[in-house]
């Protein structure tokens, strides 16, 4: 609302409404009547302004100052409200109830002699609401105090602004969602490099895929041999009933098997609509294949017949599945060197899948395949063979950093739109883009270091910590610094160096997830009798006495320190940040 002070305008006196309308702005009765030519000029002037009043494109309305009753209104004002004549109407007839307080303030400003402009909602004769902007000022109309209002229909303007806000909100939500996905993929890489069992990794993938893709259920199918036939069996699932989790699907004839066999995304947008038709005896699998997807048009009769025996173990009953599942997207768990199964994402209701949905599911599946591949490598016989395969895997995982760059590209796409609507937010996105790209480069270097045998012990600890801090800059939105004092090149044993590095890595991960810190400082001090690493942040801290077992990695950090012969001290308090100090005593060469 805006308001300006101005002098009162006036319209001429007149006993009849016809004369009142004709008296818009100027009044013949207020002019000197001693000369005929002046009176005639006044009449002509009044007629001119009355014509302008009637022909104006904007709505013009004259309201009684005390009651608000309409004294006069031009065709434009009447037309926008759906009337031909509105004289005598009370404002409550055409002003929306939610705008009544605003209109009351508008009248109050006019009564004290101020010009006022407000935006309110009016109501048409048919009951529909629309947005208007009204500018009013006090005036003299036919000898009584009145308000002259200029009214514009701004519905299109308001609608355009709302649509712009909705688009910005949708883009912001999408950026946040993609950022969550990128973060989850980075966490998946940590799982790839961990010593977790294959089953633990599969359970993690099933849980994360369900959360990130917003599905109702998620399952990982892997191939098994049964009586000479290759089937797909559920190895990990979230959200499936025990019966559905026990099914075995044929590679040829099912949508999940098709994704595995063809190594392409397979879409069932509406499962109930593609069920085999009972009146078609030999119905086969019908698909619509596109470059990046295969859409199921009709499932084969053979799958429906498999589920007719309700007592058969591991057999899929299509009708039972359709009662619980409306849509399915299946993507292959595959790398360049092999196919490991299928990631199947289920939704309770039918839905369409666009290219973004397919790309997101496929990206997660590719990373999941790498995780499965790495886990299987760990379980393979022969340390020498496993090391050779891990070196090859390190080259494949070079592309893992593209997930961070993927997040950066999404941010760069929305910056042009944000620049016009919200420059400050656009600048924040630019700074975020800089951090992501810098962190991606450091993250890639560190990933390659971790995957090379003995790299963590061959590189000086100070250089390892520096690379770790650079790689963390993409995920920790705070100031990171490192200070090194003393001679550090040959002082740590291999076990102690790995322990120092892993403890620093765990601490920085905790800062990124929980601390909300503004500054993080890592100090490495090499003295004659000990080597000490201190990690300090000014985040929100925590109560050290009330940490649940396994929370924040405290147990893991303690075990790492103790296994390397070092001590660890953790100091923290709510609102006072956290300090982690690891001390390793130097040993004589003969003790090592």
pTM: predicted TM-score of the whole model, two decimal places: 0.43
Pairing relation of β-strands 70-73 and 114-123?
Answer: unpaired
pLDDT digits (tens, 9 = 90+) for 461-470: 888 888 888 8
d(CA 53, CA 334): 75
The per-residue DSSP string of 271-307 comes to: GGGGSPPTT-TT---EEEEETTEEEEEE--HHHHHHT
Of 550, 555, 548, 544, nearest to 579 by C-alpha is 544
257: left (phi over 0), alpha (psi -120 to 50) or beta: alpha
Tokens of 349: 């209701």
Full set of structural domains in the chain with CATH = 2-153 (3.30.450.20), 213-379 (3.30.450.40), 383-448 (1.20.5), 454-591 (3.30.565.10)
pLDDT by residue for the chain (592 residues), tens only, comes to 444 434 344 443 333 433 443 344 333 334 344 455 545 655 566 566 667 777 778 899 999 998 899 999 999 999 999 999 999 999 999 999 999 999 999 999 999 889 999 999 999 999 999 999 999 999 888 888 999 999 999 999 999 998 998 888 888 877 887 777 778 777 877 776 676 777 888 888 888 888 888 899 999 999 888 877 788 999 999 998 888 888 888 888 788 889 998 999 999 999 988 888 776 667 778 889 998 899 988 888 766 655 444 444 455 677 778 888 999 999 999 887 788 899 999 999 999 998 888 888 887 788 778 877 777 776 664 555 445 545 544 544 444 455 666 777 777 877 787 777 888 887 887 877 777 776 666 666 666 666 665 777 888 888 888 888 887 776 676 788 999 988 655 478 888 888 998 899 888 888 888 888 889 999 999 887 889 999 999 988 888 777 766 565 788 888 889 888 899 999 988 888 999 999 998 655 444 4
Pairing relation of β-strands 479-485 and 293-298?
Answer: unpaired
Instruction: Write down the mean pLDDT value for the chain.
Output: 79
The SS3 of residue 90 is coil
Tokens of 478: 């705070």
C-alpha angle 501-506-508 in degrees, rounded to nearest 5: 95
């Amino acid at each position: 609302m805006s308001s300006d002070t101005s002098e009162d305008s006036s319209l001429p006196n007149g006993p009849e409404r016809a004369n009142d309308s004709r008296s818009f702005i100027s009044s013949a009765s207020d002019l000197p009547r001693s000369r005929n030519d002046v009176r005639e000029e006044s009449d002509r002037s009044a007629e001119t302004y009355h014509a302008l009043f009637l022909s104006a494109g904007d709505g013009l309305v004259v309201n009684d100052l005390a009651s608000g009753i309409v004294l006069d209104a031009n065709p434009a004002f009447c037309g926008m409200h759906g009337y031909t004549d509105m004289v005598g109407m009370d404002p409550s007839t055409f002003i929306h109830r939610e705008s009544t307080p605003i209109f009351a303030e508008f009248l109050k400003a006019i009564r004290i002699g101020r010009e006022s402009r407000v935006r309110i909602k009016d109501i048409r004769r048919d009951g529909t609401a629309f947005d208007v902007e009204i500018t009013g000022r006090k005036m003299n109309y036919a000898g009584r105090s009145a308000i002259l209002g200029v009214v514009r229909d701004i519905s299109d303007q308001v609608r355009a602004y709302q649509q712009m806000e909705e688009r910005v909100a949708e883009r912001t939500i999408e950026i946040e969602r993609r950022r969550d996905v990128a973060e989850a993929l980075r966490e998946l890489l940590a799982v790839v490099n961990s010593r977790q069992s294959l089953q633990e990794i599969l359970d993690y993938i099933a849980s994360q895929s369900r959360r990130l893709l917003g599905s109702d259920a998620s399952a990982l199918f892997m191939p098994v041999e049964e009586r000479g036939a290759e089937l797909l069996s559920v190895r990990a699932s979230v959200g499936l009933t025990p019966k559905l989790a026990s099914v075995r699907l044929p590679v040829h004839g099912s949508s999940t098997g098709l994704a595995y066999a063809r190594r392409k995304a397979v879409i069932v947008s509406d499962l109930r609509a593609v069920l085999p038709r009972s009146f078609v005896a030999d119905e086969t699998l019908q698909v619509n294949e596109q470059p990046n997807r295969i859409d199921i048009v009709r499932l084969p009769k053979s799958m429906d017949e498999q589920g007719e025996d309700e007592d058969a173990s591991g057999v899929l009953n299509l009708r039972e599945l359709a009662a619980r599942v409306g849509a399915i997207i299946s993507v292959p768990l595959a790398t360049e060197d092999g196919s490991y199964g299928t990631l199947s994402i289920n939704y309770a209701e039918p839905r369409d899948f666009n290219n973004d949905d397919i790309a997101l599911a496929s990206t997660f599946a590719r990373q999941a395949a790498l995780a499965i591949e790495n886990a299987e490598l760990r379980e393979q016989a022969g340390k020498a063979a496993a090391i050779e395969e891990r070196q090859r895997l390190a080259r494949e995982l070079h592309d893992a950093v593209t997930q961070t760059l993927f997040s950066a590209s999404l941010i760069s796409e929305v910056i042009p739109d944000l620049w016009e609507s919200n420059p400050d937010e656009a600048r924040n996105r630019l700074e975020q883009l800089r951090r992501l790209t810098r962190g991606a480069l450091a993250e890639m270097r560190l990933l390659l270091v971790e995957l090379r045998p003995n790299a963590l012990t061959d590189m000086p600890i100070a250089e390892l910590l520096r690379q770790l801090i650079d790689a963390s800059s993409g995920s920790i939105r705070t100031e990171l610094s490192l200070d090194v004092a003393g001679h550090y090149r040959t002082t740590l044993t291999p076990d102690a160096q790995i322990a120092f590095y892993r403890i620093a890595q765990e601490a920085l991960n905790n800062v990124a997830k929980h601390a909300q810190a503004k500054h993080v400082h890592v100090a490495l001090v090499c003295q004659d009798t000990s080597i000490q690493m201190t990690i300090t942040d000014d985040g929100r801290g925590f109560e050290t006495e009330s940490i649940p077992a396994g929370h924040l990695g405290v147990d893991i950090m303690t075990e790492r320190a103790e296994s390397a012969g070092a001590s660890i001290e953790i100091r923290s308090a709510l609102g006072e940040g956290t300090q982690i100090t690891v001390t390793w005593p130097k040993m004589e060469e003969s003790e090592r």
